[in-house]
Amino acid sequence: MKKFVLIVTLIVSSNVHAEEPRLKTLMATMGGHAQGILSGILYEDYDVIQNAVAWVNNHEQPTGDLAMIKKELGLEVLRFKWYDTQAHNAANAIGEAAIARNMKEVSRNYGIMIYNCTKCHEAFRERLRNVLHKE
């Protein structure tokens, strides 16, 4: 039994270190959660909305790409972070409105969130893709 636990521990810990999270994977997941929120809005399911918002807010850091992002953007990384903060603020507002069962505020803040997602894409996506996926 001890041996089994040790092996499992080794497998799990080696997987954790095997690959650092990448921005592209994180973003693809984010796309799914944005659709999840929209689905919650359209079906008026506040639990679905709150659940998807929690996922948006607790995403992992793209540690596999952060150094390259900072190097490419220099001081502009502040603008990159600004869009991230704005998107998160809107997600928080969606969550609060969902708790208050206020659909008007949920959908208004959903618009603000998507606006900030796309502002960042507009400003940085192509540029970072070229640096992060040279292969």
Name the residues that contact ligand HEC, by CB under 6 A: 23-24, 27-28, 30-31, 34, 56, 80, 83-84, 87, 113, 116-117, 120-121, 124-125, 128-129, 132
Q: Which is nearer to ligand HEC, 46 or 109 (CB)?
A: 109
Minimum separation from the CB atom of position 115 to ligand HEC (A): 9
Q: Which is nearer to ligand HEC, 34 or 46 (CB)?
A: 34
Query: Coil, strand or helix: which one is 21?
Result: coil
Query: In this structure, how many other beta carbons lie within 10 angstroms of the beta carbon of residue 108?
Result: 15
Minimum separation from the CB atom of position 132 to ligand HEC (A): 4
Q: Which is nearer to ligand HEC, 101 or 121 (CB)?
A: 121
| 54 neighbors 91 (Cβ within 8 angstroms) | no
Helix-, strand-, coil-residue percentages of the chain, each rounded to 5:
85, 0, 15
Angle in degrees, CA 56, 16, 53, rounded to 5: 10
Nearest to 114 by CA among 87, 94, 85: 87
Q: Which is nearer to ligand HEC, 9 or 127 (CB)?
A: 127
Minimum separation from the CB atom of position 16 to ligand HEC (A): 21
